[in-house]
Amino acid sequence: MHMRSDAVVLFGVTGDLVSKKLFPALYELTRRDRLNVPVIGVARSPWDDQQLVTMARKSVLEANDEIDEETFDGLAANLSMISGDYADPTTYQRLAERLRDAERPVFYLAIPPAVFGSVVEGLAAVGLAGRGRVIVEKPFGRDLESSRELDRTLRAAFDSERVFRIDHYLGKEAVEGLYAFRFANRLFEPLWNNEHIDNIQVTLAEAFGTQGRAGFYDTVGATRDVLQNHILQVVALIAMEAPASDDTTAFREAEAAVLRQIAPLSPESTVRGQYAGYRDEPGVAADSNTETFVATRLTVDSPRWAGVPFYLRTGKSLPGTATEVVVEFKQPQRSLIPAERGTATAANLLRFRLGRGDGITMSIQAKSPGAEVASRPVDLSVDFGSALGRRQEAYERLLDDAMDGQHLRFARAETIEQEWRIVAPILDLPAPVLSYDKGTWGPADAEALAGGWHAPYLR
């Protein structure tokens, strides 16, 4: 067992990620008696400890309907602030002084990639890197080359077993559930191949726009923001072979192995869109060609998946919010039972609902009522919230894991490099993005790409 971290340092503590995700996670860990160590916020803004506590309370209240005062007081008592420039050596000297009793601090870099280098070097210069762990947020670079460069920077200061690369989809219980579904059940795995599966669709749809992050988002776009990481992680879990054993190394190897078999995406089967009005948002370039929507087709070059297209799409300002994988099975080998009169034949579908209200819905054919021998689709559905109760939030699990030095739910350097290799041909395409109206499923061309998408169950 690795030794647990005895301090948490949040770089970029005044930012969006910390208030939306990390404070609620720290609160939850405190509630579960998993966190009673100093939590030090670092940022350029001149905040004092009280401002940090006020922000923490606000974010816990935004994430939860109510707050347990005793738990919050426990967290607040551990919070303190260091304000300083990331390029200023005294920032790190003050941090080292504050951490003099900590043997294994964990450093969370919730900061723009442009300042990763200064922070890592600053930590190394005061001897903190040698005894700490580092958690790095996505986006991990902007492309293959910059992600390798970033990795070199990190590895110059931290040994590889001290580097934790976040893709919070790996921390979601529902996403991890894909792995459990496949390898804890006998029922579907024999069908999990090109003999029985026609196509697979992955949708990560969001009803909202850039939510005040337009300045950042405009430098990134949908492909770098979620396709390169979250969606490809989901694809890896759906498509991977069974790991050679149940340990972390075997799991991560199986994940990297399937990514190696994915061909680079092609611009010809990719549709990029931008919602109308995006360019008027503060922080967005007036002539921005950044995509807020992308749909594409991917192939996995393996005996299991040859000939099975994977259709992927994600976008902002779509008709609803949902993350779903729909596995569409082939039709029965021999068609004896027609679809109900006036309806089209429907395929069996296995729908993994991975977002809020997660669960699985399976569409099967049932005999339609009446004298006619025909069938119509009906759903078998399980809602995991009702069946399993509360599940932990991704960031709560990931912080807990990193504090324990556990890598299972973090991405390997190679995994991230493979993801960049896959998306490389569709990054920064010169062709103008296609406009779409807010509240629609992106440009019309995207609809044609999959020859009909299965509409997600929207929330």
Active site amino acids: 230
Q: Which of 14, 228, 296, 323 binds ligand BG6 (CB under 6 A)?
A: 323
Q: Burial level of 321, CB count in 10 A (0-12/13-18/19+)?
A: middle
Q: Which residue is nearest to ligand BG6 (CB)?
A: 225
Taking the C-alpha atoms of residue 449 and residue 452, their distance in angstroms, rounded to an integer, is 8
Write out the E strands in 59-154: 79-83, 105-109, 133-136
Q: Which of 28, 151, 206, 393 binds ligand BG6 (CB under 6 A)?
A: 206
**Interaction mask 267-306, ligand BG6, x per CB under 6 A:** ----------------------------------------
Q: Before 139, cis peptide (omega within 30)?
A: yes
Q: Which is nearer to ligand BG6, 355 or 359 (CB)?
A: 355
* Residue 180 CB-half CA count within 13 A: 10
Q: For the CB of residue 433, give the shortest distance to ligand BG6 in the complex, in Å.
A: 17
Q: Is 137 in the site for ligand BG6 (CB under 6 A)?
A: no
Q: Which is nearer to ligand BG6, 355 or 443 (CB)?
A: 355
**Tokens representing 152?**
């070199």
For the chain, the first-to-last Cα distance in angstroms comes to 40
Per the CB < 8 A criterion, the answer to whether 136 and 116 are in contact is: yes
Q: Is 226 in the site for ligand BG6 (CB under 6 A)?
A: yes
Q: Which residues are annotated as a binding site for NADP(+)?
A: 44, 138
Q: Is 126 helix (H, G, I), strand (E, B) or coil?
A: coil
Q: Which is nearer to ligand BG6, 355 or 456 (CB)?
A: 355
Q: Is 225 in the site for ligand BG6 (CB under 6 A)?
A: yes
Q: For the CB of residue 371, give the shortest distance to ligand BG6 in the complex, in Å.
A: 47
Q: How many residues does the chain have?
A: 459
Q: For the CB of residue 105, give the shortest distance to ligand BG6 in the complex, in Å.
A: 25
Considering only residues 92 through 121, tell me which ones interact with ligand BG6, judged by CB under 6 A: none
Q: Is 228 in the site for ligand BG6 (CB under 6 A)?
A: no
Considering only residues 340 through 359, tell me which ones interact with ligand BG6, judged by CB under 6 A: 355
Q: For the CB of residue 456, give the shortest distance to ligand BG6 in the complex, in Å.
A: 13
Taking the C-alpha atoms of residue 306 and residue 324, their distance in angstroms, rounded to an integer, is 22
Q: Which is nearer to ligand BG6, 273 or 355 (CB)?
A: 355
Per the CB < 8 A criterion, the answer to whether 438 and 300 are in contact is: no
Q: Which residues are annotated as a binding site for substrate?
A: 168, 172, 206, 225, 316
Q: Is 149 helix (H, G, I), strand (E, B) or coil?
A: helix
Q: Which is nearer to ligand BG6, 206 or 328 (CB)?
A: 206
Considering only residues 158 through 177, tell me which ones interact with ligand BG6, judged by CB under 6 A: none
Query: Edge-to-edge strands of the sheet including 7-11?
Result: 79-83, 39-43, 7-11, 105-109, 133-136, 163-165
Residues forming the site for ligand BG6 (CB under 6 A) = 206, 225-226, 323, 355
